[in-house]
Structure 1
Amino acid sequence: MRFFSDNAAPACPAVMAALQDANQLDTAYDGDQWSARIDAAISDLFETEAVGIWVTTGTAANGLALSAMCPPWGSILCHRFAHIEQDEAGAPGFYAHGAKLTLLDGPGAKVASQAIDDAMAAIRKDVHQVQPACLSVTNATEYGLAYGRNEMAALGEAAKRHKLKFHVDGARFANAVVSTGCSPAELTWKAGVDALSFGFIKNGGMSAELLVLFDTALADTIRVMKKRAGHLQSKGRFAAAQILAMLENETWLDNARAANIAATVLAEACGERLVYPVEANELFVKMTPDEAAAIRAQGFDFYDWAAGEVRLVTSWDQDMGAVEKLAEAIRRL
């Protein structure tokens, strides 16, 4: 009974059907009929003109976006627990040819506008210190907390105040949209976001993520960098088809809603064991090693996290019977 990662979940039926439909002769690279539809689909969803560029991984989406917004001699402000700092093997610096990360603090891996102001105030405006060029935040965060419209607007104002480009790592963006009840537009460009790494793989996709550019002037540069980085697949229609299938009929929202509901059921059982509120599909739960071993002995799979904590992650396809069993097992601890 799997609760260790939504990355391990199957691709959803809509995606599998779309892959089959795309398995026909068409133009190579990103000149196919599916890729040609992405910009319109994304612009409609976000209620503004936007460019959508498919890639195969979230790391590539983050790296390409940040390298287009930050010069090699600049830095990217992010939380110290951000995925780009903790889990991408230095990819942002690799893509951006040496740009560094300037790390911020905040509970639940959230960045507050005051932290941005404080970081900028501590950096001298001279040639001896690296000057920040970009802000990157994750929504939902690495600890499962969701930024709402007011929080995103405050971050956007801070970015504008300090002349920073604004990037969002949205590996679980769908879960944040469902949790907050905000529109995709309110959590992105209306708050000043320039680029969003829109996650699909964790939410039922197979091998496609989408870089959404609200600053459309970045598109030409990123397309060249995408090719140079080895992410321009010759049969790109399969990536584009997955994304369109998730967007059609709001499959991306239905899948995120299912994962969030399963997480809510577990959260009720965890009670005061929760380290953070559950606002997406991740739970961080206080458990001793003996308690975790007792739960695993009943057939449940999950990751140990910090000392005395475990992480539970629910997925779009989560078996609610297994969810109820895990909830009961936690109540009995």
Structure 2
Amino acid sequence: MFFASDNAGPAHPKVMEALVAANNGYAMGYGADPIMDEVRAQVRDIFEAPEAAVYLIINGTAANSVLLASMTKPWETIFCTQCAHIHEDECNAPEFYTQAKLTLVPTTDGKMTSDDLRQTILGEENRGVHGPQRGPLSITQVTEKGTVYTLDEIRALASTAQDFGMQTHLDGARFANALVALDCSPAEMTWKAGIDTVSFGGTKNGALGVEACVIFNPEIAWEFELRRKRGGHLLSKHRYLSAQMQAYLADGLWLDMARSANARCAQLAEGLRKHDAVNMLFEPQANMIFFEMPRRAHKRMLDAGAVYYVMNGDPETGDPDTPLVGRLVCDWSMTEEGVSRFVDLLNG
């Protein structure tokens, strides 16, 4: 039972089969492979955006960083939450690629509000040549706390950004999990809500390693291509990215995997709520749970074996009654039996 991260789960067999099939013979490199033509059409169809520019990159940090660099000038600042992945988990890669700074917006349950965004933008002011200029807004969906922005919340945030002449980027590493949680269309969660660019994740949801960078603002597409190449993220044997994304999108596989991960998370949350020692820190809305329970309970779980998840302290050392925060993430391959086993261990 491995709940540490959806990055740790296996790639779906259909994705692996597609890679094997793509390995036959020869294909032009750098995105000129015929599979990429099909992927571009698939993504445009899914997003109801026939003019969207679509590019593939191998991981989420690069996708976020190159997209933001294409939207940001070095003298600007990017607005994001205090717990955004681009702030906490990307080793300053967005700052490296953009040469800009990040300005952090306070959150409640991992989400910023349009009012807090507006106040943060105004608080940063615009001091002419002496201060950072207003760059794009970046929204993380699903948030790093496992919560999901509603469509109204996304629209309000993007509208606030537009009031200040700012574009909006969506970090969608768990895009599919958010989409099935909201039961909406990709278009509704993106360009129809005012989003300009999307990091459309595949890696956390059953791919081996591929993210689609979807650009609804055609003015920045060429700059993205140049920055992707200059940043070392244009793969020569690109067909192996294309094959993954093609299989990922075919016949709704990406949605099926997200539904499975979310369902297992809901099952897990139900089991946790029944335990008196467990305190849920946020309402889990997709495939990730943050919870708190005494150190002794964490230790007992880990000692029982076959359980792995992330926590914020040492289960072996310290006051056994001290509460520690744990994070549980369900990927597409997690089974009902695996979740039940975890809950049974918790109940002793």
* TM-score, structure 1 as length reference: 0.97
CA contact (8 A) 1:42 1:51 kept: no
2:292 equivalent to 1:286: yes
2:296 equivalent to 1:296: no
**C-alpha displacement of 1:147:** 1.2
CA contact (8 A) 1:148 1:182 kept: no
Matched with 1:313 is 329
Distance 1:234 1:26 in 2: 10
In structure 2, runs of 5+ residues without a counterpart are 314-322
Distance 1:10 1:248 in 2: 18
Matched with 1:276 is 282
Which residue type is aligned with residue 256 of structure 2?
A: D
Distance 2:339 2:141 in 1: 24
CA contact (8 A) 2:53 2:221 kept: yes
Matched with 1:327 is 343
Distance 1:184 1:111 in 2: 21
Deviation digits for residues 19-51 of structure 1 (CA, Å, limit 9, x no counterpart):
011112111111000112222111110112312
Matched with 2:80 is 78
CA contact (8 A) 1:270 1:331 kept: no
Matches within 5 A, 1:144-159: 144-159=146-161
Matched with 1:113 is 114
Distance 1:305 1:148 in 2: 29
Matches within 5 A, 1:231-270: 231-270=233-272
**C-alpha displacement of 1:269:** 1.3
Distance 1:168 1:317 in 2: 26
Matches within 5 A, 1:24-43: 24=24, 25-43=26-44
Question: For 1:26, what is the secondary structure of its paired residue?
Answer: coil
CA contact (8 A) 2:126 2:134 kept: no
**C-alpha displacement of 1:329:** 2.5
Deviation digits for residues 45-72 of structure 1 (CA, Å, limit 9, x no counterpart):
0112312110011000000110011100
Matched with 2:4 is 4
Distance 1:123 1:87 in 2: 24
Question: For 2:214, what is the secondary structure of its paired residue?
Answer: strand
Deviation digits for residues 212-266 of structure 1 (CA, Å, limit 9, x no counterpart):
1111221111111111111111110110110111111100000001100110011
Distance 1:159 1:58 in 2: 23
- Count how many residue pairs are aligned between Structure 1 and Structure 2: 331
Question: For 2:29, what is the secondary structure of its paired residue?
Answer: coil
Distance 2:112 2:188 in 1: 18
Question: Compared with structure 1, are the counterparts of its residues 181 and 331 closer, same or farther at alpha carbon in structure 2 (3 Å cutoff)?
Answer: farther
**C-alpha displacement of 1:159:** 1.1
Distance 2:151 2:123 in 1: 28
In structure 1, runs of 5+ residues without a counterpart are none
Q: Give the % identical residues.
A: 38
Distance 2:9 2:123 in 1: 43
Distance 2:125 2:303 in 1: 55
CA contact (8 A) 1:269 1:331 kept: no
Distance 1:269 1:188 in 2: 33
2:130 equivalent to 1:123: no
Deviation digits for residues 77-113 of structure 1 (CA, Å, limit 9, x no counterpart):
00011010001000001111x2000001111221111
